[in-house]
Structure 1
Amino acid sequence: MANRTVIIAGATGLVGRELLRGLLADPSVDHVHVLGRRSPPVVSPKLTAHVVDFAALPSLPAADELYLALGTTIKVAGSQAAFRAVDHDANLAVAKAALASGVKRVGLVSAMGADAKSRIFYSRVKGELENDLAALPFAGLVIARPSLLVGPREELGQPARPGEEWGNRLNQLIGFLIPPNYKPIPAADVAQALVSTVPAAVGTQVLLSGAMRR
C-alpha cells in the first residue's frame, strides 16, 4: 500500500508518540494528521497538527486510516465522568467523524481486561468503547489490549503510574514466571503492532500483549 493518509488522535501520549514516530518514518505514508488539545513537539513535511475540542469536532480531512490513542486515568481526569469523556466519548467522536471523512480502517489502543460487562469501571469503559467501534461500518478494526505499559512518561510530562512501575520491577525479578499476555510491554511494541496490522485489516482483530511483544 502506498500514498496513505492517516489520522492520529492522541499523538502526545505514551503509545501515541510511538505511533506518530512510526507513521512518519513509513515511506508508504504521505501525510499524517494529528488531532489533539495541543500540537506534538515534532516537525515534518508529512505532518499537519490540528488543535481541536473533542466535544465539538470539526469535519476531518479525508484519510485511509485512523489511530485512536486518547486516554487518561481517573486520578488525572478528576472523576469517573471526566475519565469517560476522554477514554470513551472523545475516541468514539473521532471515529464517527473519521468514518464520515472516508476512513476505512481503525487501530485502537485499549487495555488488558477490557469488557463492557466488567464490574471494574475502567475495564467497563474500555470494553464499551470497543463494542461501539465494532458497531461502526469500518472495513477493519484492530484493537490492541496491552498489559502494563513501559515507557518514559516523565519525558511527556505525565505523572508516574505506580502500577506500571511495580509491574516492571516484578517483571525484572520473576518475568520468566509471568504469562506473556500479563508481562509489561513497551509502548513502542504496541504502536508497531498497530502500524503493521491496521493497513490491511479486515473485520475486527484483537491483539494481546503476548502477540504484540517484539
Structure 2
Amino acid sequence: MKTAILFGSTGLVGRHVLNQLIQNDNYSKIKIFVRSSIQINNSKIKVIQTDFNNLEKYKDEIEGDECFFCIGTTKKNSPDKNEYQRIELDIPKQVAQIAKSNNINSYFFVSSGYANSKSSADYLKYKGLVEEKILSLGFSKIGIMRPSFILGNRKEFRLGEKIGIIIFKLLNPLLVGPLKKMRSIHSETIAKAMIKLANNNIDQKIFESDQISDLVK
C-alpha cells in the first residue's frame, strides 16, 4: 500500500487526481497540501494546511511514495509578475527538490503543450524550466503531462474558455498527424493517465495531449 502526496487537490485536474487516488486500492494514505483548511471525510486523507511561502517547514510531511503536482494559475488570477513566477516556477521546483531529498520515487507534473524553457512566453518558459528541473533530479519514475486545451468544470466562469471548448470540439477531428498533440483533453482524462503511469511500468516520461488520451484507452 502506497502513500500519495498531492498538491493542487482543489484544482481542475487535481480534484480528479484526488478522486482517482481515493478509489484506487493501491493507496492507503493521501496527503493533500492546501492553502485553506477544507473538510474531507475520508480515512485515507490527511489535510495539511500549508504556508506556501515557507515550504521547508513542511519538509517532514512531504514524504511518501509518489508526488502529484497539479498547481497552476493564470495571469488574471495572479497579475503580480513575481507572484505569478512564484506559483508557476518557484513552488513546483521547490516541491520537486524536497520530494527528491525525501527519497520519493515517483513525480507527476501537469505541464503544458509546447512547454519550452527558452520560450518568450512566461507560462511556457516556466513550465519548461520546471520540466528540466524534474528531469534533472533523477526520480525513478516521472510523468510530465503536456495537455493542450483542458476541458472540465471550472469553479469560475471564463467566457474565453467557453468559446475555446466549442472551437476545439469542432477542430479535434481535423487535428491529425503532428497536429494531434493540439487536441483538447478532459481534466479527468489527465488524472486517470497520471494514476495509470504511477501504477504501471511505462518508460516514457513526457506525454503530449494525444498521448495522454491514448494512455487511458
Unpaired segments of 5 or more residues in structure 2?
none
Indicate the RMSD between aligned Cα atoms, in angstroms: 1.8
Distance 1:150 1:77 in 2: 21
> Do 1:64 and 1:105's aligned partners in 2 also have CA atoms closer than 8 Å?
yes
Corresponding residue for 1:144? Answer: 145
1:203 CA drift (Å): 6.5
> Do 1:139 and 1:202's aligned partners in 2 also have CA atoms closer than 8 Å?
no
Distance 1:80 1:11, change over 3 A: same
Paired residue secondary structure (1:135): helix
1:95 CA drift (Å): 1.6
Distance 1:116 1:41 in 2: 38
Distance 1:115 1:49, change over 3 A: same
> Do 2:143 and 2:206's aligned partners in 1 also have CA atoms closer than 8 Å?
yes
Residue identity in the other structure for 1:198: A
Of 14-23 and 167-176, the range deviating more from structure 2? 167-176
1:94 CA drift (Å): 1.5
User: Sequence identity of aligned pairs in percent?
Assistant: 25
TM-score when normalising by structure 2: 0.89
Distance 2:21 2:131 in 1: 23
> Do 2:88 and 2:123's aligned partners in 1 also have CA atoms closer than 8 Å?
no
Distance 1:131 1:92 in 2: 9
Residue identity in the other structure for 1:191: A
Corresponding residue for 2:186? Answer: 186
> Do 2:172 and 2:184's aligned partners in 1 also have CA atoms closer than 8 Å?
no
Distance 1:60 1:203, change over 3 A: farther
> Do 1:11 and 1:36's aligned partners in 2 also have CA atoms closer than 8 Å?
yes
Distance 1:150 1:178 in 2: 17
> Do 1:181 and 1:208's aligned partners in 2 also have CA atoms closer than 8 Å?
yes
TM-score when normalising by structure 1: 0.90
1:201 CA drift (Å): 5.5
Residue identity in the other structure for 2:165: N
Over residues 39-73 of structure 1, what are the superposed CA-to-partner deviations in whole Å (9 max), with x where a residue is unaligned? Answer: 45532100001011122122233300000001101
Corresponding residue for 2:198? Answer: 198
Corresponding residue for 1:121? Answer: 122
Residue identity in the other structure for 1:173: L
1:59 pairs with 2:59: yes
Unpaired segments of 5 or more residues in structure 1?
none
